[in-house]
């Protein structure tokens, strides 16, 4: 009986432990808040911190990490090269912003398309690459899904190369961590695409949407993403003292908040903790157990009417901090205190980024040296001429509107004044018998004005008592009787 009781008590204890583990796992995996975080060591894949890391999520423009990975893998395998010319299709042109907006038929190299996609997050350039490498968006999506399967991304499915809204396009912080590790591990010669400071297309300069570039010490990648359903996403990479860390932030409420949280995660990883040995090991990123659930839809929280301005991928962090006094981001010290960090927001967002020279991008075949400078100057001149022409058209439109509002009134006034003058002048020709026949024989329109004034003065005195005009007429000739008699003789 004693052995049986012990066996039963031992089995019960194991059962309780299993139940507790399952409950803790479900609570850890289920999103208590609409955010997901992951911090991993890029070299070993060890998980340093994870919150909702296996919760399915809409990747938004983090999709472009896979687009770049598949494209650069094709370059590395020799199927295409960076100077291969690709053509902008009507389908690429029709993509929603952010985009370059080149007309259909424009040609661009693989290299330039990658730079525009990774820095500006250009959705049209992602489609140009997809159609150039995979033949079509569907064909390229199949390549993306096959690559994801090979890398062990068990929670990811792609239907487009740019991350524009689609309920079927799903990933997770876990899978994005796996992909980011593969990008740095498998394509070391192309890592510069991950941390370009900005691009210059003629007169237009676009800085990297990843605000850690040029601000956070050691930041070297990787990509931002945003749609209303996903919130603000970021995969941030940094290297210090030969240690490479990758942080994944999903579902932040603003661009500034995702930047701050990523910096906090990276800082925690680099500084470590004396009590880290007390925490249970989370294993490697590949070992994180996936969760079977639907991704949260953050549209109301991120893009709802409570925002002072519409949410956007390229929103300015500094303006976000200044305007929204009710948000955590408005008070960086408070926001960072919540994140339990010693890093100050002023070190990340308030201080202007150290911006390196933006990379020149252009359309058409590959150019180097003086040809590249000439292409840049030509595009700058074209844009300047286009801007000048646009301003000229706007100015012409404004000046055309002003006369249209005032000229008709002046013209009407002139037309009204001319007949008024003829009314007074009409009686003079009527006084001489010679001109009477001349005006009558000239034309009917000339005769009509003479007739009208004659009728009107006759009608006006009729409205007043007859004695008054009669009295007024003799009053004038009295001072000069001889003149009045002479003038009245020919009239009769």
88-133: pLDDT as tens digits? 999 999 999 999 999 999 999 999 999 999 999 999 999 999 999 9
pLDDT digits (tens, 9 = 90+) for 441-470: 334 444 444 444 444 444 444 444 444 444
Q: Would you please indicate which residues are annotated as catalytic (active-site) residues?
A: 61, 64, 121
Contact 435, 447 (CB under 8 A): no
**pLDDT exceeds cutoff 80 at 263:** yes
pLDDT at 391: 86
DSSP secondary structure letters along 127-158? HHHHHHHHSSHHHHHHHHHHHHHHHT-TT-B-
Give the per-residue pLDDT at 4: 47
Mean pLDDT, to the nearest integer, of 215-228? 94
Average pLDDT over residues 279-286: 84
pLDDT of 321 strictly over 70:
no
Q: How high is the pLDDT of residue 275?
A: 56
Once rounded to an integer, what is the mean pLDDT over residues 473-486? 47
Q: To the nearest 10°, report the CA torsion of 278, 280, 286, 292.
A: -140
pLDDT band at 430 (very low <50, low <70, confident <90, very high): very low
Helix (H, G, I), strand (E, B) or coil at 21: helix
Q: Place 403 in a pLDDT band, splitting at 50, 70 and 90.
A: low
Mean pLDDT (whole number) for 256-273 = 90
Name beta bridge partners: 51.
Answer: 37
Higher pLDDT, 349 or 268: 268
Q: Tokens for 405, please give them.
A: 């509002």
Element (H, E) at 356: none
Q: What is the DSSP letter of 328?
A: G
pLDDT at 309: 64
Residues 266/236, Cβ–Cβ less than 8 Å: yes
Phi/psi of residue 236, nearest 5 degrees: -110, 140
Q: 10 Å Cβ neighbour count for 66?
A: 29
Q: Is the peptide bond before 98 cis (omega within 30 degrees of 0)?
A: yes
The per-residue pLDDT for 456 is 47
Angle CA 175–179–180, to nearest 5? 115
| % of the chain surpassing 70 pLDDT | 65
Q: Decide which of 65 and 394 is more confident.
A: 65
Distance CA 301, CA 105 (A): 40
Render pLDDT for 139-157 as a digit per residue (tens, 0 to 9): 999 999 999 999 999 999 9
Stretch 220-224: mean pLDDT? 96
Q: Is 338 annotated as a binding residue?
A: no
* Helices 110-120 and 123-134: angle between axes, nearest 10 degrees: 140
Decide: helix, strand or coil at residue 211: coil
Over residues 199-216, the pLDDT tens digits come to: 999 999 999 999 999 989
- Please give the average per-residue pLDDT across 169-178, as a whole number: 98
- Strand bridging mode 219-227 / 243-252: unpaired
Residue whose token pair is 């007390």: 278
CATH architecture of 36-298+312-366: 3-Layer(aba) Sandwich (3.40)
Q: Which pLDDT band, with edges at 50, 70 and 90, does 294 fall under?
A: very high
pLDDT, residue 368, reads: 93
Domain spans in the chain, listed from the N-terminal domain onward:
36-298+312-366
When mean pLDDT is compared across 222-236, 332-346, 399-413, the lowest value belongs to 332-346
Q: What was the pLDDT predicted at 183?
A: 98
pLDDT score recorded for residue 13: 53
pLDDT greater at residue 365 or residue 1 = 365
How far apart, in whole angstroms, are the C-alpha atoms of residue 285 and residue 43? 11
pLDDT of 345 > 70? The answer is: no
Which residue has 């012409």 as its token pair?
Answer: 396
CA nearest to 64, candidates 184, 146, 144, 138: 144
Tell me how far apart the terminal alpha carbons of the chain are, to the nearest angstrom. Answer: 157
Output b/e per residue, 183-205; b: 16+ Cβ within 10 A: bbeebeebeebbbbbbbbbbeee
Mean pLDDT of the chain: 77
Output the six-digit token pair for 230.
Answer: 């996903």
Strands 219-227, 204-207: pairing is: unpaired
- Residues 404 and 249: their CA atoms lie apart, in Å, by 57
- Note the helical H segments in 339-443: 345, 369-425, 427-431, 433-442
Provide the pLDDT for residue 59: 98
- Rounded to whole angstroms, the Cα distance separating 389 from 394 reads 9
Residue 239 has pLDDT above 80, yes or no: yes
Sheet of strand 198-201, all strands in order from the earlier edge strand to the far edge: 204-207, 198-201, 359-360
Backbone dihedral region of 78: left (phi > 0), alpha (psi from -120 to 50 degrees) or beta?
A: left
Residue 417 and residue 375: Cα distance in Å, rounded? 62
């Amino acid at each position: 009986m004693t052995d049986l009781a012990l066996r039963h008590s031992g089995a019960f204890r194991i059962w309780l432990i299993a139940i507790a583990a399952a409950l803790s796992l479900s609570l850890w995996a289920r999103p208590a808040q609409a955010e997901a975080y992951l911090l991993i060591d890029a070299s070993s894949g060890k998980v340093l911190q994870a919150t909702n890391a296996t919760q399915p999520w809409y990747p938004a423009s983090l999709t472009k990490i896979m687009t770049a990975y598949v494209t650069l893998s094709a370059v590395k395998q020799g199927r295409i090269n960076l100077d291969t010319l690709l053509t902008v299709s009507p389908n690429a042109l029709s993509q929603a912003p952010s985009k370059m907006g080149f007309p259909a038929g424009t040609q661009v190299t693989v290299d330039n398309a990658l730079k525009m996609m990774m820095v500006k997050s250009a959705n049209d350039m992602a489609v140009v690459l997809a159609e150039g490498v995979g033949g079509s968006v569907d064909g390229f999506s199949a390549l993306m899904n096959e690559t994801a399967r090979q890398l062990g991304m068990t929670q990811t499915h792609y239907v487009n190369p740019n991350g524009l809204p689609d309920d079927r396009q799903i990933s997770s912080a876990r899978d994005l961590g796996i992909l980011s590790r593969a990008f740095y591990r498998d394509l070391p010669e192309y890592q510069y695409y991950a941390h370009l400071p900005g691009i210059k297309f003629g007169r237009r300069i676009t800085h990297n949407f990843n605000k850690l570039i040029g601000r956070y010490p050691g930041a070297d990648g990787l990509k931002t993403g945003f749609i209303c359903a996903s919130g603000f996403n970021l995969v941030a990479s940094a290297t210090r003292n030969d240690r490479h860390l990758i942080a994944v932030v999903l579902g932040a409420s603003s661009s500034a908040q995702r930047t701050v949280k990523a910096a906090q995660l990276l800082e925690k990883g680099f500084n470590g903790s004396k009590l880290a040995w007390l925490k249970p090991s989370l294993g490697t990123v590949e070992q994180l157990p996936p969760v079977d659930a639907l991704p949260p839809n953050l549209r109301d929280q991120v893009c709802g009417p409570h925002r002072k301005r519409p949410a956007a991928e390229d929103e300015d962090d500094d303006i976000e901090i200044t305007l929204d006094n009710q948000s955590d981001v408005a008070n960086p010290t408070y926001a960072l205190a919540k994140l339990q960090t010693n890093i100050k927001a002023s070190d990340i967002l308030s201080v202007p980024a150290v911006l390196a020279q933006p990379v020149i991008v252009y359309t058409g075949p590959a150019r180097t040296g003086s040809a590249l400078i000439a292409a840049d100057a030509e595009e700058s001149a074209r844009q300047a001429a286009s801007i000048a022409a646009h301003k000229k058209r706007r100015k012409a439109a404004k000046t055309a509107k002003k006369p249209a509002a005032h000229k008709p009134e002046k013209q009407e006034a002139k037309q009204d004044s001319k007949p008024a003058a003829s009314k007074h002048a009409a009686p003079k020709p009527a006084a001489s018998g010679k001109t009477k026949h001349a005006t009558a024989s000239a034309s009917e329109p000339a005769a009509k004005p003479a007739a009208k004034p004659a009728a009107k003065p006759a009608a006006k005195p009729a409205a007043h008592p007859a004695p008054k005009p009669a009295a007024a007429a003799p009053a004038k000739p009295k001072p000069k009787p001889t003149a009045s008699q002479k003038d009245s003789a020919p009239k009769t």
